Amino acid sequence: ETGVTQTPRHLVMGMTNKKSLKCEQHLGHNAMYWYKQSAKKPLELMFVYSLEERVENNSVPSRFSPECPNSSHLFLHLHTLQPEDSALYLCASSQDWGSGRANEQFFGPGTRLTVL
C-alpha cells in the first residue's frame, strides 16, 4: 500500500449504530487530518493530529470522536449520527515541522458515509 488509504470506502449506517472510519498513511508523515466534504459546500476541517496529539478541533459535535494511536493511523468513531452527517469523509496527512512550516497535505480516497 502506498500513500493514504481509507476503509471502508462506503458505509451505510442507522442513527443508533456505532461505527469507525480508519485511515492509514504510508508516507512517514507526523500529522493527520479529518475533513468532511458535503455536497455544494467547501471542505470542512474537523480534526488535526500532530505527533499523535490533537491540535485542532473545529467545533465538531461530540458524536464524532477521533483517535490517533500512532503517527500512521487515524480513526473517526461515529455514534448516534444524524442524516445531515451523510458526506464524504476525507483523511489527509502531511509532514509538520512544528514551526508553522507544514508541508502540503496528501489525501486518501475518502469514505462515503450515508446515515439513514
Partner 1 sequence: AQTVTQSQPEMSVQEAETVTLSCTYDTSESDYYLFWYKQPPSRQMILVIRQEAYKQQNATENRFSVNFQKAAKSFSLKISDSQLGDAAMYFCAYRSGVSGSARQLTFGSGTQLTVLP
Q: Which residues make up the interface to partner 1 (CB under 8 A)?
A: 31, 33, 40-43, 45, 48, 50, 55-56, 88, 90, 92, 94, 96, 99-102, 104-110, 112
At a CB cut-off of 8 Å and minimum separation 6, what does 101 contact? none
Nearer to partner 1, 5 or 17 (CB): 5
Please, what is the minimum distance in Å from the beta carbon of residue 65 to partner 1?
20
All three cell numbers of 27: 508516507
Please, what is the minimum distance in Å from the beta carbon of residue 80 to partner 1?
26
Sign of the dihedral through C-alpha 56, 79, 106, 70: positive
Q: Do the beta carbons of residue 4 and residue 107 sit within 8 Å?
A: yes
Nearer to partner 1, 21 or 92 (CB): 92
